[in-house]
Structure 1
Amino acid sequence: MNETQKARERAIILAVQLKSQDDFEFSESLNEISSLCETAGLDVEAQYTQNRERSDSATYLGKGRIEEILEQREREDIEFDVIIVNDELTTSQSKHLAEAFDVKVIDRTQLILDIFAQRARSREGQLQVELAQNEYLLPRLSGHGVSLSRLGGGIGTRGPGETKLETNRRHIRSRIHDIKVQLEEIKKHRARYRENRRKHEVFQVALVGYTNAGKSSWFNQLTDSETFEENLLFATLDPKSKLMTVNDGFQVLLSDTVGFIQHLPTHLVEAFSSTLEEAKYADILIHVVDRSHPNYSGHIETVQTLLKSLDMSHIPVLTLLNKRDLLSEQPVENTFDTRYVTSRSAADVAEVKKTLSDFIQTQFTPYDTKLGADSGKIISQLKQETLVESIEFDEQTERYAVKGYARDNSSIVGRIREKRESHE
């Protein structure tokens, strides 16, 4: 089957380094925007930066710097189809840059939205993308049309797409309302599932972390799954959940979530909050950190800030400092809630399951019960629904002594206690 491969769009990156920004922070943000371009399927031809107190209110970069870039393009015959700006632009800045360069101008937020539009597979994910795109577009409608309408298709035009320029504010507001109604229905559907899981006392654990930290690799290893794994930002967008087993039988529902990123715009966090809903109702979070990344501490800070803004900072966190196989220096010693790991090691996968079991135990209450010799079915249920620590059979009394840990409201432990009390 012969398919014509679509030519990749060529891009240049524009970035302003503010006086308040140190060189390392700025360098990391440039690396990140380059990675975002790669994820979006763009070839970056060049990067142009400028040091300023603040970005130019009309043209983002200063007029002199823009003239230099235009002269260099002419002189060295640099060709590009799109400009990617490493910040969120105002309507005026976007319009003036598009007029100066006569190409499409996409800011950082639009680029992230475009990647989300490519990655969303579920109906919910697609609706959330469209909602975020429309909410971003609405305040930017006036004076923005002509510069973008010349070039349809490609980066920045997925989702609402080429027709968005002809739509008026009323139509977009109406569409935003429709999407919110549909998302509310999906939210109710999720809530029913959650209530069902709560009734069945399912213990929930969610993987969170910076984008490309290795969450999907850990999801696959812990649940024996084969979900999408790639060394790209936002490789996972649609949430996935699957049962995993720890402590020789205790069942845990593990959820994978969309990766976090620095300077994620507020409306984007809001639009994707339902993608993170599985994490919001988790009993424990597993925070996966790419420890080999030069800015791993900045990534940890970003995740912690976003968890706080999503009212999730109260949930206990187990931290996996991932990709230890890529570290040149010797990792620091593990602690109770922090482990140096790599998903490529079977020993580390077993270690994480054991650590998670120990971590869950701290959230539970100990129990100690005696069961008759014919209690095989109840013991099997205890293994599934509680963390069983020991089972010993007393041949004299012909009874099992079972010790373990369970939720305070564990129905199986409650039924055993009631039964025992009624026989006393």
Structure 2
Amino acid sequence: MDILTTTAVLGLVLLVMLAGGLWISIALATVGYVALALFSPAPAGSLLATTLWDHSWNWALTALPLFVWMGEILFRARLSEDMFAGLAPWLDRLPGRLLHVNIVGCGVMAAVAGSSAVTAATVGRMSLPELKKRGYGETMSIGTLAGSGTLGLLIPPSIMMIVYGITAQQSISRLFIAGIVPGLLIMAIFMGYVMLWSGLNRGAVPDAGPRLSLREKLHRSRRLIPVLLLILGVIGSIYGGYATPTEAATLGVFGALGLAWFAGELSWQTFKDSLMAATRTSCMITAIILGAAFLSIGMAFLGIPAALAAWVAAQGMSPMMLLLVLTLIYIVLGCFLEGASMIVLTSSVALPMVIQAGFDPIWFGIYLIVVVEMAQITPPVGFNLFVLHGMSGRDMWTVTRASVPFFGLLILVICILATFPGLVTYLPNLMISR
């Protein structure tokens, strides 16, 4: 049986298991076992045991539960309430007014939670009722939240960056630093769009509130500022070379516990709830990584990644055409799979092709995460759409329609990053040169 037929058979087996509701991690590992047992002479059982063991004690994995726990602690410490009260005075005078709270608030929460759905839920829980009460249009309120919630995957510390770094064997520290400029770029483009929209729809935005002094603004932001300092400390310790991602995550956990205690929100029940939630999330992602690792071993034994890379080279595709094809494939996959599954399922196949085409693997990781962000607002399995559907009480069509402009803006971001790759690679390369 040739490589193309073998790949098609394995892909069909995977689709059948996923459609049947089997856990993604088990489905991935099963396909890897089928690949080895039926299409190669390799000892599938021994390889399964050694692969699971080798990847389960990967040191980079230790950063994952710690960053998740940090976000869970702050999530339970009234961060959403503090965020609206702290950001509103600073953004009320911009064109678009308090709609910017959704964008900036999601940027701040993204640096805390590392998760798109948690980011959208945390900010939306407070901002949607507040914006509705103050007379802002529901469509734009939902749209800004749906689009900006995707920042949870990109702005470091990002869970998806850890997943990609482990899967593609790339530096997690460099990925964290590489995500800073693209994350800020997305926020700037979203805010620019809101300003343009408000200029064209002046009657849709309420008047600004009373002017506040600098002292009053700082007073209203008094509980948000320590969180911002914690985020800067975590990222700054990595960028400055003072801490590894795991060490920085440890500092983040202790800092989050300290802030929750100082705010009077840290109880034994809160501590247990945050720890158990972080454990569940981390175990789920780790299981997917282990299943994908075994699948990658199976595909490597069959020579599938190398064969696909050679096939792409034989087609004479330009690098940009390859990127366009991959983008379309990922958008389709995003209609059915969540982010971590997309990354671990495709990295071992896509990475050899993009490296052969001359793309930097760190750049490709950020590109991939932005495309996964697009999948978060793509029906029928866009997680942000489900979150906002439940929070707003509106039907999925209304929520999807509100998010369409921000899907288009993310396509614009992809084009900018492809045209100017230095936006991604400059800071990581500067980190190495230091």
Task: Settle same-fold status: TM greater than 0.5.
Answer: no
TM-score calculated relative to the size of structure 1? 0.28
TM-score calculated relative to the size of structure 2? 0.27
Q: Which has the higher contact order (CA 8 A, sep 6+)?
A: 2
Q: Which has the larger radius of gyration?
A: 1
Tell me which protein shows more helix as a share of its residues.
2
